[in-house]
Chains A and B, each alone.
Chain A
Amino acid sequence: MRLRTKIAALCAVVLATSLSACAPGSPQSDAGPSAPASVDFNSFKGQTLTYVYFTDGPDEQATKDMIAKFEAATGAKVNLQIVAFANLATSLQARLSAGNAPEVARVTDWHPYADKEVDFKQYFGSGFPSEFASGAAATAMDSTGRMLAVPSDVTINGPMINVDAFKKAGVPVPAKWTWDELVADAKKVAAANNMPYAFAIDKSGNRLSTILSQFGTVMIGPDGKNALDKDKAAKALTFFTDLVKSNVSPKDFWLGSGSKYTGANEIFLAGQVPVYLSGPWQVGAFAKSATFNWAAAPNPCQERCGGFPGGKFMIAFKDSKNPALAAAFVQWMNRSENQREVDKTAYWLPTRKDLTDSGVTYANRQSDMSSFLSQINETPSDTWTDANSPAFTASATALISETDKVVAGQQDVRTAVENISAAIDKAIKAAGS
């Protein structure tokens, strides 16, 4: 070996060894108030906050309009940064580790940032969570009672149907139906309309959890432990995978999307399927794009009724340049009159207690939004704790990947359920719950 090569190799080893001795990351900080802090909305004039946001469509303009009102009311400036949902978590984590936290972010899961989030009770008092509906408020609290997020909109999964296709087939939509009835009706409608499929569902662990719940089980229980009832899960997965394997639900869609979340909205909008299980965030886009009459329909009941919850949260970062302004902005955006205004045009379901009691009048599609809203009361309470568990996302990923293998004929349902249960245990352990 030449001397130059030897020196280069030695340098590389020394650099690698010295790096290995260095712990990466930044030391933990605990900025933010430890005692209740007051917020003076008149003190923010000329100050700026950054709001990292992802959009489902119609909510973007509604949010921009509300931000303009906030700026006019306080004199503060909001720098709205819209990122693709797929890049949201990576982008936020990168900014946090680089010490460049935005003031506020819109997220679907606040747990990964819990150590950096403002406790809203420190700013707005211990009564602040009670301004929100109990189910929604519970999803924003950690195990020690801190309110680390504000639920800005709640979602509940449910089916949407192609009304024109149902009419053409002469099939009425019942006020209540079981899964067997839903599939039988959907098959009749698909056949009468020459549609290739009868039922579509997003490739998503959250959406598949709807079927699990309706068959009587959830993945993580209210005590934070593995609550998967293997027999019920096996029944649910057998029912669902049979639909996909027989192409009643599009098999190519399920297998062709790999490991990625994929919405089946395009299949529904293309008129290829009469029943599509998704959620109210589709209402605004469908109101704009659908070329046929459609409507939200009741969730099918099997062992239990109702849908499966989800939602979006606004979080404020205590390591940002202006955490007080961040907390104030989140609170202002979720005041009763402001949340109602955004909900109306963005087709969001409200999270505030007063608004869920009084209801929201939407610009149009009122009956569809009311249909989704009515599903909230029918949804079992353990689904809220399941969806809110820090271990849910990883468990839902396993639910999808194991279901994939059953659909592809690589394993049976029993093996899939055992693997899902093991993955839930692992996720709970990793989340420290």
Chain B
Amino acid sequence: MSVMAPARARGFRGWMRGKNLAPYLFVLPNMLIFGVFTIWPAFNGFNLSFYDSSNGRTYRPVGTGNYTNILSDSQFWGVVQHTVLFTLGFVVLSTVLGTALALMLNSQRRGRGALSAAYFLPVLISPVVVGIIWKAALDRTTGLVNQVLSAIGLGSPGWLVDSSLSLISVILVGTWIHLGFYAVILISGLQAIDTSLYEAARMDGASVWQSVRLITLPLLRPTLMVVIILATIAGFQAFDFVYTLTGGGPVGATTLIIQYIYENAFSYPIQYGLASAAAVILFVVVFAVTFINYAIGRRSESI
């Protein structure tokens, strides 16, 4: 025994040293919280998608019935169409305008901080409040936007009640919320670009546009990929400001996938299983789109 004990103790300490556990112990509390409040509920949601329940207490196994019902539901495909259109519009606008804004702010010599803060402000406002504010501003008869438009003879469009305009309004409001955040990320990307490259280009007689096209955009590509991935995820997950802005109307024209999940889970008739199945489908789609984005980005970088 007296021979074995030190050997065992040395072995454990050695194993500890070999494995270098310290980093794992540092992340353990966070991983525990993440596991309990994110991973475990996510797996539970996956489990629920194979059951039918209208009250969250009694469950009836239905196999893949919820998935079959969703995929054969015309309302779901309408929601998918709105979500894809919203996400595409939101990602393109956020990326293009975010880049333009970042370029403008980055070239600003005075007041850059104050301007950045001003554009960042919408990020700090609760999305629910943003929806309420824009609902008032875009009201057909009393809204500020239409009062200005009608004063200059452009009529009073039904921004939130006309099916052909409501999704555009939602995309614009969504972009307004996130624009400052993406611009801040892109500014940090711009500031990481070596300024000597621009000096060399200038000496070679490159125009501003050529510098942007041939230096800025290629070197900004990793940051742009981050913005595109974040915007894609935010686009697929948009709900709160849409719910207070249009409630998903008119006639479902702005109902996006998260609202579809929410209403199936929490509005009558309650269908927890169906809502969970829709959430699983959303996860798979977002994961796939993000992975494709990432893969394309990596491939472009290596080229």
Contacts and interface: CB of A to CB of B under 8 A. Distances in A.
Majority-rule SS of A interface residues:
helix
A257 B59 contact: no
A221 B146 CA distance: 47
Contact of A96 (B51, B57, B61, B160): B57
Interface string B239-268: 000010011111110110001000100111
Interface residues of B, number: 39
A430 B59 contact: no
B56 A410 contact: no
Interface residues of A, number: 41
B249 A94 contact: no
B43 interface: yes
Nearest to A26: B57
B253 to A, nearest CB: 8
B43 A16 contact: yes
B122 interface: no
Contacts of B57: 25-26, 28, 93, 96-97, 115-116
A195 interface: no
A379 interface: no
Interface in A241-263: 251-252, 255-260, 262
B267 A24 contact: no
A20 B47 contact: yes
Nearest to A406: B251
Contacts, number: 112
Nearest to B263: A259
Contact of B249 (A15, A394, A404, A427): A404
A393 interface: yes
Contacts of A397: 267-269
Contacts of B259: 259
A25 B158 CA distance: 46
Interface in B30-56: 43-44, 46-48, 50-51, 53-56
Given A25-B59, A393-B268, A259 B252 contact: yes
A390 B247 CA distance: 26
Interface in B122-168: 139-141, 158, 160-161, 163
Contacts of B268: 89, 393-394, 397
B247 A258 contact: yes
B290 to A, nearest CB: 16
Contact of B246 (A26, A93, A112, A256): A256
A252 B141 contact: yes
Interface string A105-130: 00000001101100000000000000
A19 B250 contact: no
Given A251-B161, A252-B141, A90 B266 contact: yes
29 contacts: A16-B46, A20-B47, A24-B47, A24-B51, A24-B53, A24-B59, A25-B57, A89-B268, A93-B270, A94-B56, A96-B57, A112-B54, A112-B270, A115-B58, A252-B139, A252-B161, A255-B249, A255-B251, A256-B246, A256-B247, A257-B247, A258-B250, A259-B249, A259-B252, A259-B263, A260-B247, A401-B252, A408-B163, A430-B54
Interface of B: 43-44, 46-48, 50-51, 53-59, 61, 139-141, 158, 160-161, 163, 243, 246-252, 254-255, 259, 263, 266-270
The 5 closest A-B pairs by CB, nearest first: A258-B247, A258-B249, A255-B250, A394-B269, A19-B47
